[in-house]
Amino acid sequence: MNLYQQNIFTRITSNRPNLTAAENEIANYILEYPKDASESTITSLSKKIGVSEASINRFCKKIGFNGFNDFKIAVAQDSYYRKMQDKKRAASSINFSETLSFDYTELINITSENVEENLLKELANEMTTATNIYLIAFSEAHTVAIHMHYQLLMLSIPSMVINDMSLLKLIVNKSNKNDLFFIIAETGNTKELNKLIEQAKQNEPKIYILTSYENTNLTKLATDSIIIPNRLSINQSSLISSYISYIFVADLIIGTIIKSDVKYVREKLENEGIITRSDYYPYEY
């Protein structure tokens, strides 16, 4: 993922694990008051947040900017934050369901902006040529893996969902360079998972990770990473699931596979036909 193709929010949240306590305070303020951050001097901003000017400069550099002035320009130009400000101004005039619907739509739009088409094509190609595809996901992410497994099956591409560490140990031990590991993990900070993927790396499988955090141990181990925003990007963050955006990316990958070869269109239509054929339901009248 090219850092400069990410919006400001994603760049901040994907680096959260690497931020100090003071830098997290800066991040919180900027996410809450982006317009003020873009219009403040570094001195006035440091006083408002209660941190040193040096901390602000370190924060800006840590998320990929040359310094505070470079960061200010990017915030001011970021279309996402302009939309966020418009939404906040309009929030009082629309009802709750409309607000929540807007938030879901915005989360998908931001996700779309942060996914590189070339990476989707690369991953689609790897999935269609891999001997074995392992979809590794735990907790809520397991739902995304099941969804992706089903969609791949509709294209007659077999895969295995792994949500058990003991099973993953066996898979890691038997993996080879023709296998593909697709890890779905919002933070990717599970110690045992990191240890097992580090072991798998020795067998040279392709390793891709779909996550919301950059510069973690998992992203460093991966062949490549898809970094997307999580639910914290929107107002009603406590009411929605980040995995809506993860399912969206899974569908983008499946769509890219379908577009790569007309045979996958035929496979999908044929398999959908098998599922919906009435003779599979003999007891229905």
Give me the tens of pLDDT residue by residue for the chain, a chain 285 residues long: 444 345 677 778 777 777 888 998 998 888 888 878 888 889 999 999 999 999 999 999 888 888 888 888 777 766 555 565 566 556 556 667 777 777 788 778 778 877 889 999 999 999 999 999 999 999 889 999 999 999 999 999 999 999 999 999 999 999 999 999 999 998 877 889 999 999 999 999 999 999 988 778 898 999 999 988 776 555 555 667 778 889 999 999 999 999 999 999 999 999 888 887 755 555 554
Listed in order, the ranges of the chain carrying CATH 1.10.10.10 are 3-93
Tokens of 168: 């993953």
Task: Find out whether 121 and 256 touch, Cβ atoms under 8 Å.
Answer: yes
In order, the DSSP letters of 107-132 are HHHHHHHH--HHHHHHHHHHHHH-SE
Task: Supply the pLDDT for residue 274.
Answer: 83
pLDDT given for residue 107 in this prediction: 79
* pLDDT reported for residue 142: 94
How far is residue 110 from each of residues 145, 146, 248, 252, measured CA to CA in Å?
Answer: 21, 24, 11, 14
CATH superfamily of this structure's domain 115-275: Glucose-6-phosphate isomerase like protein; domain 1 (3.40.50.10490)
pLDDT at site 2: 40
The sign of the dihedral angle between the CA atoms of 2, 70, 109, 243 is positive
Q: What is the pLDDT of residue 263?
A: 94
Strands 132-137 and 160-162, by their bridges, are parallel
In the CATH scheme, what architecture does the domain 3-93 have?
Orthogonal Bundle (1.10)
Contacts of 226 (CB under 8 A, 6+ apart): 1, 115, 119, 123, 208, 209, 210, 211, 249
